[in-house]
Chains A and B, each alone.
Chain A
Amino acid sequence: MRNRTKLLLLFVLVIISVLLYGFYDIKGGFDYAFPRRMIKVAAMVITGIAISYSTVVFQTVTHNRILTPSVMGLGSMYEVVQTVIYFFAGSMSIWIVNKYLNFGAAITAMVVFALLLYRFLFRADKHPIYLLLLIGMIIGTLLGSLVTFLQVLIDPVEYLGLQSLLFASFTKVKAELLYIAFGILLIAFIYGYFIMKKLDVMSLGRENAINLGINYDRMVMNILILSSVLIATSTALVGPITFFGLIVANLSYQFFVTYKHSVIILGASLFSIVALVGGQFLVEHVLELRTTISVIINFVGGIYFIYLLLNESRAAK
């Protein structure tokens, strides 16, 4: 099957799952339910694309297919920023009340974090993937503990506000952020149009890319910023989903055997929309909201993650 056919097939699946989610069992108040469902779909589409896009470019730049921005603790950074703002400035501060300012602060912190991570972990000599993974876990735990520590000290009433900020999910999308998220994605796409071919060259490794005239170190910077901004967007919208990027990126690598980032990113995005919208459909109508989609994704993704690790260690022998 050619890649174009495969993409078309996935696109049809996307349409089917969106229609199914939009119209299934829509009793009585169509005018009430339908727009609400579509807001969720919009959030899922934006999240799905943002996570796929950021994961694939992050993996190209760091030359691995197992670590993702979320696994390295980038998602937790969002919680840290929000908690720190609540702790020091309180819920009435401009940094919380003004959604744009809040978003900007979160993005800035995540970009800085991503650049530091790259500077100390990926740029220097090649560390074994297990060491990187271990460091990622430790960073994640450290940030998690820091967040918990601060949260315990916060006034309980304030904490409720913080909680609603952190525990976003697809069932409780922050619709007011949809416009910013959409705008960011649009900019990311326009930028992506110019760098797709460069990304293809960068997957040959630093030395080959420089040889072919890529301004490598600057590109890495730009792409890490892009990746952090996209992860920040999706986290702000629906909260952190650790293993999701890993699943869709690897599915796409396996399904489309190609070096072309345009195909891989598009494929991963379509996979993720099908998984999110279809998954949310199952959660709402089959499981009747007894669990959330993030739980399912992290469960399935965790298993897949272990499978990939085992595969990697076998290949390394």
Chain B
Amino acid sequence: MIEIKGLTKQYGKKPVVEDVSVTIEPGMITSFIGPNGAGKSTLLSMVSRLLDADTGEVLLDKNDVKKWKSTEFAKRVSILRQANYINVRLTVRELVAFGRYPYSKGRLTAEDNRFIDQAIEYMNLKDMEDKFLDELSGGQKQRAFIAMVIAQDTDYILLDEPLNNLDMKHSVQIMKILRKLVDELGRTVVIVLHDINFASVYSDRIVALKDGKLVKNGPTNEIINSVALREIYDMDIPIQEQDGCRICVYFNSHTTS
């Protein structure tokens, strides 16, 4: 279980994340949503120890994240950020193999190769596993990185806007795969999303941030309603049901500020 307790981060005098406490429920998809600059990515970075918090702590299984040995932590929690510019030439398979580093330290065993094969299979990358990353489209590259994280075989998978720059088809593909990871393999996924409707359709719980503060935290159906959304986005957003999914039709909404 991951517990976030009173996390605060300031850049200069401006607090980006202010006293946020959330518990990440295992076996679910939790989405972090909120307007630009709400501190979603910063919060995720602190949970995954990419960034040090000013005050507050993050606990993984009751132990402070900072006290975990970095390789042991890497076997439990993985993080994928949005910008992945790499200036070495790697094939898809080589990239995915890096996911096994916490276990094998670069000397791959038969078991490692099995995990790599599975991850490649899972992300439908089999036919391009020997292609170089710079030969792939944005969506394929994103899938390769997610495959690396899957090969890492962690209970917790944290993703920072994985749908950025992806078209509708690839976005849906990736969200379905995340759903499968949770439902079939029992993983826990925490994801920063920009598109409220992807959060509404695919996640179990939603954590909403605004100006660095936590404004809402609960099951998806408690958050996706016009009252709660007004508080988060300062917009009146009508909601329509479609096949049991709640869709926010925000395109013509009146903006209050």
Q: Does A64 contact B (CB under 8 A)?
A: yes
> How far, in Å, is B194 (CB) from chain A's closest CB?
19
* Chain A residues with CB under 8 A of B247: none
Which residue of chain A has the shortest Cβ distance to B105 in the bound complex? A197
Which residue of chain A has the shortest Cβ distance to B86 in the bound complex? A204
Binding site for A on B (CB under 8 A): 48-50, 70-75, 78-81, 84-90, 94-95, 98-99, 101-102, 105-107, 149, 152
* Stretch touching chain B among A211-219, A268-276, A302-310: A211-219
Q: A212-B152, A214-B70 are in contact. Are A64 and B99 (CB under 8 A)?
A: no
* Chain A residues with CB under 8 A of B102: 212-213
* Chain B residues with CB under 8 A of A257: 89
Interchain CB contact under 8 A, A212 and B81: no
CA distance A16 to B106 in the complex (A): 34
Q: Does A201 contact B (CB under 8 A)?
A: yes
CA distance A25 to B101 in the complex (A): 53
- Interface residue from B81, B84, B89, B101 paired with A213 (Cβ < 8 Å): B101
Interchain CB contact under 8 A, B74 and A211: yes
> By DSSP majority rule, is chain A's interface helix, strand, loop, or mixed?
loop
* Chain A residues with CB under 8 A of B78: 211
Interchain CB contact under 8 A, A215 and B94: no
A215-228 vs B, Cβ < 8 Å mask (1 yes, 0 no): 10000000000000
> How far, in Å, is A39 (CB) from chain B's closest CB?
37
With A203-B87, A213-B70, A258-B89 given, name 5 new contacts (CB 8 A): A197-B101, A210-B50, A210-B79, A212-B74, A213-B101
CA distance A281 to B190 in the complex (A): 62
Which residue of chain A has the shortest Cβ distance to B100 in the bound complex? A212
CA distance A288 to B216 in the complex (A): 80
Interchain CB contact under 8 A, A63 and B87: yes
* Chain B residues with CB under 8 A of A63: 87
A251-285 vs B, Cβ < 8 Å mask (1 yes, 0 no): 00000011100000000000000000000000000
* Chain B residues with CB under 8 A of A197: 101, 105-107
Interchain CB contact under 8 A, B74 and A213: yes
> How far, in Å, is A216 (CB) from chain B's closest CB?
9
